[in-house]
Structure 1
């Protein structure tokens, strides 16, 4: 398999879990872009944001994404939820014949259920104190990001599907 599989979607959509399963099934290495940035920069994304700001972070995000894609070390890449929306990152991914992007599409209600439980671990949403506020926040973000996410090669409806089912759907589209 001489290509990249890139998973795109909102936080909590299952990108990392699906990427890990795809990696097992295909024997391709798995790269979580956020984890790569944290390791390489030797600080958390929250610290990068606090210390240097979002523009600095987005430039680093683009730098590492471009390095991965240019390496031809074909892998499964899980992007941060905002990555497709900045620095013409979708244009970069679309410009390569060896890159297949998959938008893991989940309803605001379903992703809000997942995120509300783990909100304290996620700086962007840690301040949200009710499920209704979470769903409103997620709906607004998804609406804003949809023009970017929808540019993916494929859109996978992940609502009420297991990681295994989602993985099978992706692999079926690649054969």
Structure 2
């Protein structure tokens, strides 16, 4: 099967961790949209936000989505937390099966260390991050092919996906 699997969810919900393990399990390539953007721009996301702003970053995500749609097959793709906004322009389901890793906000905060939070510009203010989380959850659920409980172990999450 050469269909992609897209993992979506809020920052820190485990998309990259689950994605790497899932790709090994099913024999597919693993891609991370944030890493792709960082590589193409030769800058960390934090620096892209600081230098050019969020709108510029969202445009880079749209370019990435177009590339994924036209060029990538048979991969597990971990999508950045805000990648959901490309849905206005490109249906994520046209790129692959969309799996939402559902994890509550408190669990995400527990998972993220200080260094991890520092790398995430939208997580600087905890109350704003919670607002953003609440807003995005509805978006994630509306486009997901499948919703899985991302608070489980990596193996349990993979079992739910498969």
Structure 1 and Structure 2 fold alike (TM over 0.5): yes
Larger mean Cα displacement after TM superposition, 150-159 or 29-38 = 150-159
In 1, the alpha carbon distance for the partners of 2:118 and 2:96 equals 34
Who is 2:102 aligned against? 105
In structure 2, relative to structure 1, the CA distance for the partners of 1:115 and 1:18 (3 Å cut) is same
Match of 1:157 in 2: 149
Q: Tell me by how many angstroms 1:123 deviates.
A: 3.0
Gaps of 5+ in 2: none
Look up the SS of the partner of 1:6 in the other structure.
strand
TM-aligned CA deviation for residue 74 of structure 1: 2.1
Larger Rg: 1
**Partner residue of 2:122?**
124
User: 1:121 & 1:45 partners in 2: Cα distance?
Assistant: 8
- Count residues in correspondence: 160
Match of 1:131 in 2: none
* Aligned equivalent of 1:15: 15
Deviation at 1:121, TM superposition (A): 3.6
Please give the TM-score of this superposition, normalised by the length of structure 1: 0.83
Kindly report the root-mean-square deviation, in angstroms, between the aligned alpha carbons of the 2 structures.
Answer: 1.9
Kindly tell me: are residues 120 and 51 of structure 1, through their superposed partners in 2, closer, same or farther at Cα, counting changes over 3 Å?
closer
Please report how far the alpha carbon of residue 93 of structure 1 lies from its aligned counterpart in structure 2 after TM superposition: 1.2
Structure 1 unmatched runs, 5+ = 129-133
Moved more, 36-45 or 116-125: 116-125
Secondary structure in structure 1 of the residue aligned to 2:112: helix
Whether contact under 8 Å (1:9, 1:149) holds in the other structure is yes
Structure 1 residues 86-101: aligned runs within 5 Å: 86=86, 88=88, 91-94=90-93, 96=94, 99-101=96-98
